[in-house]
Amino acid sequence: MTEQHAKPASTLTLSLQEAVQALDFPATADTLQGSQPVVLMPSIDLAVAAFRTGRAPVLANLLFSRQYPQGLIATVPSNGASATNLRFMADLQDSATHSVAWQPGANWTQLPWKPFAGSGGNDVVAPYPASLVKLMVAVGVALAVDEGRCDWPEALSPMITASDNDATDTCVALLHRVGLLPRRLNAVFAASGLPTLQMNNTTAAGGWRNNNGSGVGHLHMTAWDTVRLLWLLDQDAPPPPWLPANTPPLLKPASRDRLRTELQGQKHNEILSSGSLKHVPGWVPGLPDSPAFAHKTGTTENYGSDGGIVKTPDAHYIVAVLSNLGTRYAPHPDCATTWRMPALGAAVHHAVLAL
């Protein structure tokens, strides 16, 4: 492949940067700080690939954090390959499996950060993806089915649509039995040009959580590579431009479509979309809900993530966000995160429609 050079920041990129700044994320209330504002900019990794008939895709990836409160624009080459100006630091857990980076008063200059991907000049902490990692597991299951190593497990659907952790244990154990874990799945992602998608330290018994020696600091995703993984699952998207033209598809059409169907059955519209929360006082609309938004969410006390394919009569795009904005920032017990996240989803949709 010939070298592809980065383009100037797109109108979409600038619109998203303005939207995040306007939402004033540092004012988000934190229950671990007596519901006082967090003050420091939370970590938000946001990426979008918008598809327009007869025109090139519009690509955007912005990263916000206490290090980059105004937003760091990822230098994504025009062919959609990995950004050239980022080096990702692995998230951290201590010996008691606490996510130490996100505790009130954490001093990032004293924490033992270690890079896991990228070689650019800007170090960025990648928040743990939470249950968004189940998208990687699902792709591994589909690969195993395509290779004749197993049949579709009953656990696949509850893992994706209901984010069932026990079902995920079953699927992770399956991937070990058929040889996709512990190493081959990472190699498949890397060969697809997605080096930040990594599942490390999972166990043959199906362990993938902190107390299994995995979880935070071992399971990695970033917004841009999540968008591009979903691109490979989107039959309506153009061919992936970062891969050579003769590259075989990641999955067979039937398996690709099976995963898309599961994502369309998502029951948790509570991060970038918010239809599951219409009963909550102060409800804020977000992205279109599933099935128009075929997606997977991830939520814990310290993390909130969402990624999927949006297909409506007037828009087609892929969006992913990974953040440290979990349930401790929620305004109501039924909420998964701050209302600023679905507001961001609505802003993304508006920005894409304006292209």
Q: Is the pLDDT of residue 1 over 50?
A: no
For the cut 50, the answer to whether the pLDDT of residue 42 exceeds it is: yes
Does residue 289 lie within any of the structural domains?
yes
Q: How confident is the model at residue 219 (pLDDT cuts 50, 70, 90)?
A: very high
Instruction: Evaluate whether residue 5 is within a structural domain.
Output: no
Range of the domain at 67: 11-353
Q: Taking residues 65-78, what's their average pLDDT?
A: 96
Query: How far is it, in rounded angstroms, from Cα 137 to Cα 159?
Result: 9
Say whether 73 sits in a helix, a strand or coil.
Answer: strand
The pLDDT confidence band at residue 5, using thresholds 50, 70 and 90, is very low
Q: Name the domain count of the chain.
A: 1
Identify the residue whose tokens are 């025109």: 55
What is residue 2's predicted lDDT score, i.e. its pLDDT? 32
User: Which is nearest to 231 in space by CA: 202, 188, 260?
Assistant: 260
Pair 214, 203: CB distance under 8 Å: yes
Q: What is the pLDDT of residue 8?
A: 58
pLDDT tens digits, 137-188: 999 999 999 999 999 999 999 999 999 999 999 999 999 999 999 999 999 9
Phi, psi for residue 175 in degrees, rounded to 5 = -65, -30
Residue 152 within any structural domain of the chain: yes
Angle between helical axes of 253-264 and 133-146 (0-180°, round to 10): 150
**Residue 4 placed within a domain:** no
- Residue 262 inside a domain? The answer is yes
CATH number, domain containing residue 139 = 3.40.710.10
Confidence category of residue 3, pLDDT binned at 50, 70, 90: very low
pLDDT at 10: 84
| Arithmetic mean of pLDDT, 322-344 | 98
Mean pLDDT value across residues 67-80:
96
Residue 3 lies in a domain: no
Mean pLDDT (the chain, rounded):
96
Q: Is residue 51's pLDDT more than 90?
A: yes
Structure confidence by residue, pLDDT tens digits, 233-266: 999 999 999 999 999 999 999 999 999 999 999 9
Lowest mean pLDDT of 117-121, 229-233, 266-270, name the range: 117-121
- Look at residue 47 and tell me if it is in a domain: yes
Task: pLDDT band for 9, please (50, 70, 90 cuts).
Answer: low
Q: Which contacts of 90-97 are long-range, i.e. CB under 8 A and separated by 24 or more positions?
A: 90/114, 90/115, 90/116, 90/126, 90/217, 90/218, 90/220, 91/125, 91/126, 91/127, 91/128, 91/216, 91/217, 91/220, 92/216, 92/217, 93/210, 93/215, 93/216, 93/217, 97/210, 97/211, 97/215, 97/216
Question: In this predicted structure, what is the pLDDT of residue 168?
Answer: 98
Q: What is the pTM of this model?
A: 0.96
- Whether 1 maps to a domain, the answer reads no
Q: What is the pLDDT, as a whole number, of residue 255? A: 98
pLDDT at 120: 86
